[in-house]
Amino acid sequence: MALGSETIGRKLLWSIALPGLVVALLGVGHFSREARQAVREGTHLEALALAEAVASTFTLPQAPGAAPHGAVADVMSADTRLFRSVEDLRVLTPNGRIRWSRRPAEQGHPHPEAERLSATGPETARSSDRGTEVVRPLGGPECSGCHTGEAAQRMGVLQVRLGKPALHRQLQTVLQDALGAMVFFVGILALVTWLSLRFVLTAPLKRLSEAMGRAADGDLLVRAEAKGTDEISRLGAAFNAMLARLTSMKVEEIDTHRDLQLVKEKLALKDELEGRLRELSLLFDVARSLNTTLELDELLSRITHLVVERLHIPDFSIMLLNEEGLLEVKHAWPQGRGLEGHTFAMGEGACGRAAQTRKAVYLPDLTDSTSIFARRGLRGGSERGSLLAVPVVHAETLLGVINFQRPETASISAEEIELFTAVADQAATAVTNARLHAETVKLTLTDTLTGVPNRRHLFQRLDLELARAQRFGVPLALLMVDVDHFKRLNDLAGHRAGDETLRRVSDVLRTRARKVDTLGRYGGEEFVLLLPQVSKATAVEVAETLRRAVAESVTLSRPGLPGGHVTVSIGVSHFPTDATSQDALVDCADSALYCSKRTGRNRVTAFEPGMEVHPGRERSITAPPTDAPSTPPAPSGIAKA
């Protein structure tokens, strides 16, 4: 630390030297004034005594024959030590002329100040810087010996003026020498004091201040000089002890900071590990929950509840890609907002963009009008907060998009985006498994050629409908349909044409059946149609309608069939009119169909008692066993002609 100009040494120097100098100057000034006053008073008395001595010479007796007042002239011209300090000594007549003077040339001439000096008055004496002047009137008793009468009272004026005496000049010289000596002494004293203060006080304090400055800048290893036993040395020793303590405290602080840093790192790693464990636990729960069901609708419902409850997402929707290539909302939360069925095209909105790019799209602020992805949202959804759209992709196949939304802006962190993406991957696997399961179930219950339920599914539906009819006391009709001359069709046009004929016949039957009706392939060229809650007469009318529709709709380009078009024969049985069990109901319909075949084909026959015992008919095998194949062979009781 650099010291300023106002050091403590200079302050002490000024505090010592300046008062001393002032006291010395005051003392010299007082002595000079007293000395001058004493010299002036002495000169004043000397002038008065000299004037008295000169005036007394007028009273001295005169020698016979001598000039009048010769003694006065002798005194005026005397060169004694008494008169050496006299500058002017004159005797003036009453009219102002100089009678006697130490300067003979002035005698007889008027005095320039005759008016002032000749003024009547007592003896006066005045002193000034130029000297001391005494004006003494002459006359009176001292002149009565020579002069008489009134003239003796006013004989003239004696003027004595003394210059500065030698003592005064000597005194000034002494004072000047004393003043010079005092200044020299003060200078020497100041120099000695300054050097003493510099080496004894200022330099040690400067070194101590520099050490303190380095310590203040962070250098705790610096040490101050602590030699000696004076106060500065003790102060340096105390400062060194303080620095040693601070050094040890700094070392402890560094160690503590390092330990705290290690603890913070461990806590951060622990928190990160706990977060990862929570994420893994969540993903495990999601995977376990999603893998417990293979029904797609139930699966989507579970995904919705898991996201809302475990991920704290108050606004959520899951979309799947439909047959038209659009993103369709299948499940949404909160419920009851009418979002299900809402569709988005590829590239439309954040979800469409996520589906198009196969990457997650994050909108931290939905109110930001500059975002091109926020121009369209879900109707009924929140228009504020943040939105994350994550594509649901499995094996490079886009399945849909999951939308995570919170009402606060920028409320989804990067770690949560990673977690939500993992949840979407789990959902993609579960949705794929559910769809594969649904496809497998569909294949086991559906005829692959015509797309209608196969014989296994047909008998399951028949058992269900018959149980419902028996419980609620409602009717149930069964129509057994057989394609006429199907064997001849295969022989003439080939099996491919036969398969196409079966598909077209099933399409005609399916499009004209009700939603509550069940159409299934019974086997070969035979179909069964279940009509719940239909009377026997109505069932016959429906059968006739179907027969005519097939005859009018299904035509062949190859000749060989009667009429050039495909026809069907139909047998009708009814519960509870004709039978009360599944086997009996199917057997009655088969008996009526056999009757339609042998009576000319392309006709509808309702079951009548006795048809089942016709000698040319073999009883058909009805319900298949539980381990039977999905597409059993055609019943043997009907001739394929």
Count of other CB atoms within 10 angstroms of residue 397? 10
Count of other CB atoms within 10 angstroms of residue 277? 10
Give the separation between CA 549 and CA 290, rounded to whole angstroms.
47
Sheet holding 386-394, edge to edge: 343-344, 327-333, 315-321, 397-406, 386-394, 361-363
Here the CATH number for the domain that contains residue 355 is 3.30.450.40
pLDDT at 550 (0 to 100):
92
In this structure, are residues 317 and 424 in contact, taking their beta carbons and an 8 Å threshold?
no
In this structure, the answer to whether residues 426 and 513 fall within a common structural domain is no
Give the separation between CA 602 and CA 483, rounded to whole angstroms.
9
In this structure, are residues 290 and 303 in contact, taking their beta carbons and an 8 Å threshold?
yes
602: three-class secondary structure by DSSP:
coil
Residues in the chain predicted with pLDDT less than 70, given as ranges, are 1-13, 17, 59-68, 70-71, 73-74, 77, 79-82, 84, 120-121, 128-130, 140-154, 164-169, 279, 289-290, 369-382, 557-564, 615-641
In this structure, the answer to whether residues 468 and 403 fall within a common structural domain is no
Tokens of residue 84, six digits? 């050496």
In this structure, the answer to whether residues 515 and 409 fall within a common structural domain is no
In this structure, are residues 475 and 533 in contact, taking their beta carbons and an 8 Å threshold?
yes
The answer to whether residue 450 sits within a structural domain is yes
Sheet holding 476-483, edge to edge: 518-523, 526-532, 476-483, 568-575, 604-606
CA angle centred on 81, ends 78 and 82, rounded to 5°: 75
Q: For residue 141, say if its preceding peptide bond is cis, omega within 30 degrees of 0.
A: no
In this structure, the answer to whether residues 536 and 406 fall within a common structural domain is no
The tens digit of pLDDT for each residue in 514-547 reads 999 999 999 889 999 999 999 999 999 999 999 9
pLDDT at 629 (0 to 100):
37
Which domain-ending residue is among 395, 410, 442?
Answer: 442
In this structure, the answer to whether residues 595 and 472 fall within a common structural domain is yes
486-493 and 495-512 helices cross at what angle (nearest 10)? 130
Count of other CB atoms within 10 angstroms of residue 534? 21
The residues near 29 (Cβ < 8 Å, ≥ 6 apart) are none
Question: Identity (one letter) of the amino acid at 176?
Answer: Q
Give the separation between CA 500 and CA 503, rounded to whole angstroms.
5
Tokens of residue 215, six digits? 């310590």
The answer to whether residue 535 sits within a structural domain is yes
Which domain-ending residue is among 103, 137, 164?
Answer: 164
The answer to whether residue 214 sits within a structural domain is no
Domain extent at residue 478: 445-606
Tokens of residue 480, six digits? 């057994």
Under DSSP, the state recorded for 102 is: S
Tokens of residue 50, six digits? 């000299």
In this structure, the answer to whether residues 450 and 437 fall within a common structural domain is no
Give the separation between CA 591 and CA 221, rounded to whole angstroms.
116
Give the separation between CA 627 and CA 641, rounded to whole angstroms.
30
Tokens of residue 357, six digits? 């790019």
Here the CATH number for the domain that contains residue 96 is 3.30.450.20
Separation in Å, CA 425 to CA 386, 392, 393, 431: 21, 6, 7, 10
Going by C-alpha positions, the residue among 622, 440, 446 that lies closest to residue 521 is 446
Please spell the DSSP secondary structure of 287-333, one letter per residue.
HHHHTT---HHHHHHHHHHHHHHHS--SEEEEEEE-TTS-EEEEEEE
The tens digit of pLDDT for each residue in 407-424 reads 888 888 888 888 888 888
How far the first Cα of the chain sits from its last, in Å, is 123
Give the separation between CA 371 and CA 126, rounded to whole angstroms.
113
In this structure, the answer to whether residues 528 and 491 fall within a common structural domain is yes
Give the separation between CA 597 and CA 589, rounded to whole angstroms.
12
Which domain-ending residue is among 424, 442, 460?
Answer: 442
The answer to whether residue 270 sits within a structural domain is no
Q: For the chain, give the number of residues.
A: 641
In this structure, are residues 91 and 156 in contact, taking their beta carbons and an 8 Å threshold?
yes
The answer to whether residue 256 sits within a structural domain is no
The total number of structural domains in the chain stands at 3
Here the CATH number for the domain that contains residue 505 is 3.30.70.270
In this structure, the answer to whether residues 438 and 449 fall within a common structural domain is no
Give the separation between CA 243 and CA 216, rounded to whole angstroms.
10
The distance from CA 140 to its chain's CA centroid, rounded to whole angstroms, is 118
Tokens of residue 403, six digits? 């939308």
The tens digit of pLDDT for each residue in 360-393 reads 999 988 887 544 444 455 544 557 788 999 999 9
pLDDT at 34 (0 to 100):
75
Give the separation between CA 334 and CA 381, rounded to whole angstroms.
9
The answer to whether residue 479 sits within a structural domain is yes
- Rg over CA atoms, the chain: 73
In this structure, are residues 177 and 204 in contact, taking their beta carbons and an 8 Å threshold?
no
Going by C-alpha positions, the residue among 35, 37, 56, 54 that lies closest to residue 132 is 37
The answer to whether residue 425 sits within a structural domain is yes
In this structure, the answer to whether residues 410 and 501 fall within a common structural domain is no
In this structure, the answer to whether residues 515 and 379 fall within a common structural domain is no
Q: Which residues pair with 480 in a beta bridge?
A: 528, 571
pLDDT at 626 (0 to 100):
37
pLDDT at 527 (0 to 100):
96
Count of other CB atoms within 10 angstroms of residue 37? 11
Backbone phi and psi for residue 403, each to the nearest 5 degrees, phi listed first? -110, 120
Backbone phi and psi for residue 307, each to the nearest 5 degrees, phi listed first? -65, -45
The helix/strand count (H/E) of the chain reads as 14, 16
Give the separation between CA 330 and CA 340, rounded to whole angstroms.
5
In this structure, the answer to whether residues 427 and 461 fall within a common structural domain is no
pTM of the shown model: 0.46
The answer to whether residue 234 sits within a structural domain is no
Question: Identity (one letter) of the amino acid at 141?
Answer: P
In this structure, the answer to whether residues 436 and 449 fall within a common structural domain is no
